[in-house]
A and B are shown apart, each in its own frame.
Chain A
Amino acid sequence: MNTKSTLGWTAIGAISAVLLAALWAAPLLWAMSTALRPELETVSSDFHWLPQTWTLDAFHKTLAAGNLLRWLFNSALVSLAVTVVTMAVSLMAAYAFSQLRFRGRGLIFALAMLAFLVPFEALLVPLFRTMNALGLINSYAGIVLPQVVSPVVIYVFKGFFDEIPADFREAATMDGAGPLRVLWSVYLPLSGNIVWAMAIVTFIAAWNNFLWPFIIVTSNDMMTVPLGLTQTYDAFGVRYAQLMAAALLGAAPVALAYIAFQRKVTQGFLAASGLKG
């Protein structure tokens, strides 16, 4: 391929990337633009990309009138708990599937992977009945527990552990470490990036989860941000500026968390893919 042709393809690639980025960013920018307008301007028939009058009024009213801080706290608590428990359960399960030899290992792993095939919607009723029987409706445990089983995370960790030379486990065993200690002191430090990547992805998924909290929570005080946003709409009527302000405030923590750990996430996925970062 000659230089001219290479440059042409590079230009096409760059333009495509810019267009895709614009397509992705447009709703976010529109939400920001709407949140920074007076409420009256959001229903005006004149279309403007940018506010004619800039104001933080919608943010002030959202924070003052709604229950957003409570929902943020709930989301943070639930997402953190889901992340910590999911990581702990998945790491132990993946280590067992990868490194321990026990009867039925293959069958149990296959069953765990079969969970991929069952949509969460199909589990809603049995999960709800189980949580109800356990008295966990409208509780943090009720929101968290059904979210901590993640076959995909187990699969990724197992794949990563399979690649770690068994000599490390055997050396640690000779040193006197049991399976949990080997996992904690050897495999976990060696898997740092992929654990971070999976943790961030799990945290974001838990933060954005709408369906399960919608089923299990009825109390306004127990709602998470995605669930609370529907209440914002009800409370404020069709007040688009406040709705967008609430959405942006609700998304801000998780966006900040992603930005803070972006490098680790990238390194983790590169490590999992076998490419060097």
Chain B
Amino acid sequence: MASVRLRGIQKRYGDNLVIKGIDLDVEDGQFVVFVGPSGCGKSTLLRMIAGLEDISAGTLELGDKPCNDVEPSRRGIAMVFQSYALYPHMTVAENMGFALKLAKVPKTEIAERVQRAAAILQIGHLLERKPKALSGGQRQRVAIGRAIVRKPEVFLFDEPLSNLDAALRAQTRVELAHLHRELGSTMIYVTHDQVEAMTLGQKIVVFNGGHIEQTGTPLELYERPANRFVAGFLGSPRMNFMPAVLAGEEGATAAVRLPDDSIAEVAADVGRARVGAVLTLGIRPEHLRLSQDATSGGGSGGSGGGIGATVALVEYLGDVVLVHLQVAGVDGTLAAKVNPGAAVPAVGARVGLQFDAGHAHLFDEAGQAFAPSRRREAAHAAIQ
């Protein structure tokens, strides 16, 4: 096992700076997930760690040793590719043992290590097959097996589940988490799937435009996003946003004026903003409550039924009902998660939207989040 330390890592293609100075520490045995939209640089950074891309500037340390110019095969790293990259002309056993063969490991030891890895992944019966005779899930296991036999200090995964169907993806996700517990290795996992990120990662690194937006545990990122990008990226459906104007501050609570001119309370420390500042209010779909009373009341802390809204669409997902709502002065629709057992309004119905001050987020004009006040921290502590 080894730690991974990145300091000021940059990647430049000609004049185009695609990785803009990354500082990151991955501890021994930690499962870290790089997540972000397509083109954010997460895969490029993974390939730089692997040695498949040159590092334009900065320092990469693996186990406290500088590795910028070390050959990929000498970094103690194994990588699982999105396409699996299994050699089609070799059997599963040959695929898994190829790296050991190149390293001139004795045949008996190769066979032993391949068997051991195959046993862990339950693919012992597939060893003599060619990749074309395997299902997607089996290929994925072989690709992981190929990494395991090398006994690497760091595993790199580049969107390894993206070619699997939803059911297999969920199953393999669980198996990967189990594998990490069993091997105890350092693992860095790239995905654009936030569910994978939230369920697998001990630490999540959110990338955007070649830089890190936020680093933290899944719950930290979900409950206390540092900015509007992270808030909108994690969570499905995404966080609801609506424009708000800071109307005042009292203790641990900020009062904001919403598009319907109502006042809502948010548990946030808005000390750096002035009254009248244009802000963004963020509320996750599961924190929006629907009320039959559509009279304007500000949603939280106010009188009346809440923010007036019209039901635009209702989606029944089995375990939850998604209600999409139109609110005057808000672009697009807002989403609310409703328990299927509760009364679900019909499309076109007028409803009120309510939320708890402790579950709302406020972002300044630059999209940076205001720190939650102690009131909200207490609410989170209670949840945890």
Contacts and interface: CB of A to CB of B under 8 A. Distances in A.
B52 interface: yes
B85 A176 contact: no
B316 interface: no
Interface in A144-195: 165, 167-168, 170-177, 181, 185-186, 189-190
A185 B99 CA distance: 12
Given A167-B81, A170-B81, A171-B79, A176 B99 contact: yes
B50 interface: yes
Given A175-B102, A177-B102, A181-B102, A170 B52 contact: yes
Given A170-B52, A170-B81, A175 B88 contact: no
B179 to A, nearest CB: 19
Contacts of A171: 79, 81, 85, 87, 146
Nearest to A175: B99
Contacts of B150: 175
Interface of B: 50-52, 72-73, 77-79, 81-83, 85, 87-89, 98-99, 102-103, 146, 150
A176 B73 contact: yes
A190 B102 contact: no
Contacts, number: 53
Nearest to A176: B73
Nearest to A189: B89
A11 B57 CA distance: 70
A168 to B, nearest CB: 5
Contacts of B79: 170-171, 174
A174 B89 contact: no
B87 A186 contact: yes
Nearest to B73: A176
Nearest to A173: B72
Contacts of B77: 174
Contacts of A190: 88-89
Given A173-B52, A174-B52, A168 B87 contact: yes
9 contacts: A167-B83, A170-B52, A170-B85, A171-B87, A173-B52, A174-B50, A174-B72, A175-B102, A190-B89
A185 B102 CA distance: 10
Contacts of B83: 165, 167
Residue from A172, A176, A185 whose CB has the most chain B CB atoms within 10 Å: A176
The 10 closest A-B pairs by CB, nearest first: A176-B73, A175-B99, A167-B85, A171-B85, A189-B89, A176-B102, A167-B81, A167-B83, A174-B72, A170-B52
B85 A168 contact: yes
B85 to A, nearest CB: 4
Contacts of A172: 87, 98
A175 B89 contact: no
Residue from A174, A176, A181 whose CB has the most chain B CB atoms within 10 Å: A174
B100 to A, nearest CB: 9
Interface string A30-55: 00000000000000000000000000
A271 to B, nearest CB: 13
Given A171-B146, A176-B102, 4 more contacts: A170-B79, A173-B72, A174-B99, A190-B88
A167 to B, nearest CB: 4
Nearest to A171: B85
B202 to A, nearest CB: 24
A227 B87 CA distance: 46
B81 A176 contact: no
Contacts of A167: 81-83, 85
A176 B99 CA distance: 6
A171 B81 CA distance: 8
Contacts of A170: 50, 52, 79, 81, 85
Contacts of B82: 167
Contacts of B52: 170, 173-174
A167 B85 CA distance: 6
Nearest to B86: A171
Contacts of B72: 173-174
Contacts of A181: 102
B336 to A, nearest CB: 42
The listed residue with most B CB atoms (<10 A of its CB), out of A167, A175, A181, is A175
Nearest to A101: B54
Contacts of B89: 189-190
A135 to B, nearest CB: 41
A176 B103 contact: yes
Given A170-B52, A186-B87, A190-B89, A175 B98 contact: yes
